[in-house]
C-alpha cells in the first residue's frame, strides 16, 4: 500500500485542531473543516484557533475550510464532531465519500436514542467507508503543544491499520495498533461518565481513597460493558480504556471531570455547563449508557448513579449513600 499524504479533519474544536496539528507535524497535508466561520478565518489568517485553543501557533500546513465537500479529496478522514452530532455530520458527508475511504472515528460516546457506538453510526451513515477508531489518554492542550502522547488506533484490517498508524504518528504522538473496534470505543465512551463521578467525589471532598476506589470499580464496570458488547478485556485494559480512564479522572483539565467537580461543589448541571464552549461528552452519553447496561443486563452502579444525578432523579449525597450501602460482595 502507498502511504497516505493528506488527511481531512471534520471538526474545528480543540481535539480536531490538536489532531490536525499533530498530523501536520508528521508531514501530512491537513485540511480541517469547521462550522464556525471565525475558526476558519482565525486558522487561515493567523494560524491559530483562537476560539478553542488560543495562544498556540499552528503549522502553516493546516488549512481550514467551511464546507465538508472540501475534504472529499483527502486520503483519509479523522471524524471529530461531538458524538451526539456524529450521525448528522456523517450523513451530510456521505455523498462525497469515495468507496473504501478510511474514516477514523475520534469522538467518544454512545448515541442517545439508538444506544449505538460510533462505528455502528458510521456503518449506517457511510457504509462505503472503511472504519477505524483513535482513542486514548490525550488532552488536546498537550497534543497541540507537542507533548508526548500514546494512543490506540483500532482497525479490523491490519494492513490498513498499519498504514493509518504510520500516517498519524508524529515525533511526540505514538499510536499503538489494535484490531478490536468495540473494545477501543467502549473505553472512550464509558470513561467520560466515570470522570463525572470522580469530579463529584473531588468536589465533595471525599478524599483520594474514594477517588482511587471509583477509578478501580469504574474500570470493572467499563470492562463488563465492553465484554458484553463483544469487545475484549485486554483492549479495555490498554491505552484506550484504562489509560484514558486514569487521565480523564485525574485532572480538572478534563471537561467531564470539571463538570463533576462543579456538581460536587453544589452547582446545578446548568451552572456547571454554563459558558463552556467545548462539549463534555459524558453528560450526553450517561443516559444512553444507563439504558445500554439495562439492556445488556450488566451491573454498572457508578454509571447509573451519574446518570441519575444528571437527570435530577437523586442528589449527590443520595448517590453517595446508595453506592456505599450496596450489598457487600466479592471483588471478582
Catalytic positions are 191
Three-state DSSP class for 152? strand
The string of DSSP codes covering 41-104 is HHHHHHSS-TTTSTT-PPPTTEEEES-GGGGTT-SEEEE-S-GGGHHHHHHHHGGGPPTT-EEE
Cα 61 from Cα 225, distance rounded (Å): 40
Cα 18 from Cα 310, distance rounded (Å): 29
3-state SS string for 185-251: HHHHHHHHHHHHHHHHHHHCCCCHHHHHHHHHHHHHHHHHHHHHCCCCHHHHCCHHHHHHHHHHCCC
Amino acid at each position: 500500500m502507498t502511504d497516505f499524504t493528506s488527511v481531512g479533519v471534520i471538526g474545528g474544536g480543540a481535539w480536531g485542531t490538536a489532531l490536525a496539528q499533530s498530523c501536520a507535524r508528521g508531514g501530512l497535508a491537513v485540511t480541517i473543516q469547521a462550522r464556525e466561520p471565525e475558526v476558519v478565518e482565525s486558522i487561515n489568517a493567523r494560524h491559530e484557533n483562537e476560539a478553542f485553543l488560543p495562544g498556540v501557533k499552528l503549522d502553516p500546513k493546516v488549512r481550514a475550510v467551511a464546507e465538508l465537500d472540501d475534504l472529499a479529496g483527502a486520503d483519509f478522514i479523522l471524524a471529530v464532531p461531538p458524538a451526539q452530532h456524529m450521525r448528522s455530520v456523517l450523513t451530510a458527508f456521505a455523498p462525497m465519500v469515495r468507496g473504501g475511504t478510511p474514516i477514523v472515528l475520534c469522538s467518544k460516546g454512545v448515541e442517545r436514542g439508538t444506544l449505538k457506538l460510533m462505528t455502528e453510526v458510521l456503518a449506517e451513515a457511510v457504509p462505503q467507508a472503511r472504519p477505524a477508531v483513535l482513542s486514548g489518554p490525550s488532552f488536546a492542550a498537550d497534543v497541540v503543544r507537542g507533548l508526548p502522547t500514546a494512543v490506540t488506533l483500532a482497525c479490523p484490517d491490519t494492513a490498513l491499520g498499519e498504514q493509518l498508524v504510520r500516517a498519524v504518528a508524529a515525533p511526540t504522538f505514538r499510536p499503538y495498533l489494535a484490531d478490536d473496534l468495540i473494545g477501543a470505543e467502549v473505553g472512550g465512551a464509558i470513561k467520560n461518565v466515570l470522570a463525572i463521578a470522580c469530579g463529584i467525589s473531588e468536589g465533595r471532598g471525599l478524599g483520594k481513597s474514594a477517588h482511587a476506589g471509583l477509578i478501580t470499580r469504574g474500570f470493572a464496570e467499563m470492562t463488563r460493558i465492553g465484554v458484553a458488547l463483544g469487545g475484549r478485556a485486554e483492549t479495555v485494559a490498554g491505552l484506550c480504556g484504562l489509560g484514558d480512564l486514569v487521565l480523564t479522572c485525574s485532572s480538572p483539565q478534563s471537561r467531564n471531570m470539571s463538570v463533576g467537580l462543579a456538581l460536587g461543589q453544589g452547582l446545578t448541571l446548568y451552572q456547571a455547563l454554563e459558558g463552556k464552549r467545548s462539549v463534555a461528552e459524558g453528560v450526553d452519553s450517561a443516559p444512553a449508557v444507563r439504558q445500554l447496561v439495562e439492556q445488556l443486563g450488566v451491573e454498572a452502579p457508578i454509571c447509573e448513579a451519574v446518570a441519575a444525578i444528571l437527570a435530577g432523579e437523586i442528589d449527590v449525597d443520595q448517590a453517595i449513600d446508595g453506592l456505599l450501602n450496596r450489598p457487600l460482595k466479592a471483588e471478582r
